[in-house]
Structure 1
């Protein structure tokens, strides 16, 4: 996903002349995907299904075909969302005036973060569709998601100067969360593809 963030910024910068994510925003997204995501997913309790899998030898692939399917599918979806917002966001949200670019980039950043949050939930199970099962049993996972959500609200609503964001309206928040949530049915479709 790091290369995806880089590609996104390169493409958006090429298409519009300015990158939608600032350095501080990229650091936050990387922290969500790396540190917090790894902490949340590494604390998933083991289950009996893991013991039924065939062992993987030393020469086995570190990233399985199922993982590649999920990574590429979610990356493509997120790219489409960010591209769509970059191209049509000002029209959809009726943005004009001196703060139009700042507001649009904040919506893009917020949508991208929510895509990562919902993707963390999807990543709890690589092949199973029921990803919500037992989620409340892992208090570390729930805490990490809750803390990430809390800080995302703080970053958007109160750290505008530092994070280069601006407070969003209810409709803009709703669309950001909705785009993130749409990653869930996309994940179901991906998991139904047999690889």
Structure 2
């Protein structure tokens, strides 16, 4: 609430968010393409290994998001723990997310297309999620450019000029 307002025309995903997203996607891609070897699932049937790997990726992704919620509280600061216990709503939501994730993995396998993970794979998931904290700290040390990343991916779309000259003119002013 102490940060300045962001303009309505500003991109929804900031460069800091892009940086954090790229770090998480990299970890998940490594799990997707090398997860069978990393997790030593070669001795399982290919179908079961596939389902275990996908469940672990899902679980690790959700846990990364939960751990990242702490980083997102203070995207420009290293100490993300300052004042976290004073926000009871935040702590309650994080706790509820963890409980729901456990329920999904243990009891909603058919609904969520998951399989039960062993305690070792739960530890792996938590460790992967936990590593989002130090990776975020390292990421915060990487400078981000002023120009928004989305400009590199999006082609400029020509739009009609506003005949009234107002920046936020009603849609009727754009009639053909």
Work out whether the TM-score is over 0.5.
yes
Equivalent residue number for residue 77 of structure 1: 23
Counterpart among 163, 177, 180 of residue 126 in structure 2? 177
In structure 2, relative to structure 1, the CA distance for the partners of 1:56 and 1:107 (3 Å cut) is closer
Please give the alpha-carbon distance, in whole angstroms, between the structure 1 residues aligned to 2:109 and 2:124. 20
Question: Could you say if the C-alpha distance between residues 190 and 69 of structure 1 is closer, same or farther in structure 2, counting changes exceeding 3 Å?
Answer: farther
Unaligned 5+ runs, structure 2:
145-176
Q: Paired residue for 1:91, among 20, 27, 37?
A: 37
How far apart, in 1, do the equivalents of 2:33 and 2:143 lie?
A: 33
Give 1:68 deviation, angstroms: 2.5
Which consecutive unaligned segments of at least 5 residues does structure 1 have?
1-45
Over the aligned positions, Cα root-mean-square deviation in angstroms equals: 2.1
* 1:87 shift after superposition: 1.4
Q: How does 1:84-163 map to 2 (within 5 A)?
A: 84-95=30-41, 96-97=44-45, 98-163=47-112
Displacement of 1:58? 5.0
**Inter-partner Cα distance in structure 2 for 1:155 and 1:94:** 24
Relative to structure 1, is the Cα distance of residues 165 and 188 closer, same or farther in structure 2, using a 3 angstrom cutoff?
A: same
2:35, 2:132 → 1: CA distance? 19
Report the Cα offset of residue 193 of structure 1: 3.2
| Structure in which a larger fraction of residues adopt helix | 1
TM-score calculated relative to the size of structure 1? 0.65
CA distance change for structure 1 residues 109 and 59 in 2, over 3 Å: closer, same or farther?
A: closer
8 Å contact kept, 1:107–1:176: yes
Residue pair 1:70, 1:187 contacting (<8 A) in 2 also? no
Residue 191 of structure 1: how far off its partner (Å): 2.0
Say which one has the larger Rg: 2
TM-score, normalising length: structure 2: 0.72
